[in-house]
Amino acid sequence: MAKYKEYILDIEGVSVPIRVYAEWRKSTRISMASKAVILRIPKFLSTILLKTEIERAKVWCEKHFKQRPELLEKYRSKEYFSGEQFTVLNQTFTLQLSHENRKTAGASVKGEEVIIKLPSGISGLEQSKVIKKLLSRSLAKAVYHDFCVLVHDINKSHFKKTINDIKLKYNRTNWGSCSSMSNLNFSTRLLLAPLEVIKYVIVHELAHLEELNHSYKFWNIVERVMPDYRKKEEWLKQMGHSCDF
């Protein structure tokens, strides 16, 4: 794995990590990844020129964030609090947080409460990461049965295909996927979307059991099952960034 140095860009009060890779190249390149802004620079660039390139990257980011504010939001560190509620598949769960004299964090779901216990000395940034991870896993586990029932009901009504496995796992790059082995994977982020949008993504992945591509035939299948699927697609494009733990 290539080594990099990480710096922080302060953009509108949000700490945006920028990872700088020194490579055998003639020019710099800036891109945006899910966890950080990526800056690739020529090896042996002087400290002064490096600062210039980082500042240029900041201007580049500010321009893109102005055009698409949701891109900045994904870098904003979320603050969690006891009593916060999350609606998943029309079920509302309440988060309960506590700090204890323990080495590791743990989570459990009791009824409609997600109970997360944290080590007393955990830092703010690390705490946010841990809560997000445990919250995603806990809620996915709590509604997994109901989610699978929904998938199988839609499949039985419209597709009647063999499903090998269904998994819920945190994923930022897509809402769902389907393998040639008939395994269906869905991002836990999808659980926070409206039920009709969840159904659309399920239909989308089930349609791949007939057409493992995005051909004209594939979209005809989706439209046959859900004539207004384009509205759901548009919702995901406009509001999908709000679906996160």
| 186-215: average pLDDT | 97
Q: Phi and psi for 194 in degrees, rounded to 5? A: -60, 150
The residue ranking higher by pLDDT, 172 or 87, is 87
118 shares a domain with 69:
no
96 shares a domain with 44:
no
| 5-9: average pLDDT | 91
In this prediction, what percent of the chain has a pLDDT beyond 70? 99
User: How many C-beta atoms surround the C-beta of residue 184 within 10 A?
Assistant: 22
| 191-203: average pLDDT | 97
Residue 32 lies in a domain: yes
pTM for the predicted model, two decimal places: 0.75
pLDDT tens per residue across span 30-84: 999 877 899 999 999 999 999 999 999 999 999 999 998 888 887 877 789 999 9
Q: Is the pLDDT of residue 2 over 80?
A: no
**Considering only CA atoms, which of 116, 9, 3 is closest in space to residue 62?**
9
- Rounded CA gap, 19 and 202, in Å? 35
153 shares a domain with 55:
no
Report the SS3 class of residue 243: coil
64 shares a domain with 94:
no
Q: Is the pLDDT of residue 1 over 70?
A: no
- Rounded CA gap, 98 and 82, in Å? 8
pLDDT band at 128 (very low <50, low <70, confident <90, very high): confident
Q: Is the pLDDT of residue 122 over 90?
A: no
pLDDT value of residue 63: 95
pLDDT tens per residue across span 100-112: 999 999 999 999 9
208 shares a domain with 142:
yes
109 shares a domain with 155:
yes
Residue 79 lies in a domain: no
Residue 65 lies in a domain: yes
Residue 150 lies in a domain: yes
Q: Which residues contact 113 (CB under 8 A, 6 or more apart)?
A: 93, 94, 95, 96
Residue 221 lies in a domain: yes
**Considering only CA atoms, which of 146, 121, 116, 120 is closest in space to residue 134?**
116
The residue among 48, 73, 98 that closes a domain is 73
The residue among 16, 43, 73 that closes a domain is 73
- Rounded CA gap, 104 and 74, in Å? 26
| 213-235: average pLDDT | 97
183 shares a domain with 151:
yes
198 shares a domain with 94:
yes
Q: What is the CATH number of the domain that holds 195?
A: 3.30.2010.10
- Sheet bearing 176-178, strands edge to edge: 165-169, 183-187, 176-178
- Rounded CA gap, 173 and 94, in Å? 27
Q: Which long-range contacts (CB under 8 A, 24 or more apart) does 90-99 make?
A: 90/195, 91/142, 91/143, 91/146, 93/139, 93/142, 95/135, 97/131
138 shares a domain with 34:
no
The residue ranking higher by pLDDT, 76 or 23, is 23
171 shares a domain with 68:
no
- Rounded CA gap, 216 and 204, in Å? 13
154 shares a domain with 197:
yes
36 shares a domain with 128:
no
Q: Is the pLDDT of residue 135 over 70?
A: yes
Number of domains in the chain: 2
Residue 135 lies in a domain: yes
Q: Which domain holds residue 223?
A: 85-242
Residue 78 lies in a domain: no
The conformational region for residue 10 under phi > 0 = left, psi -120 to 50 = alpha, else beta, is beta
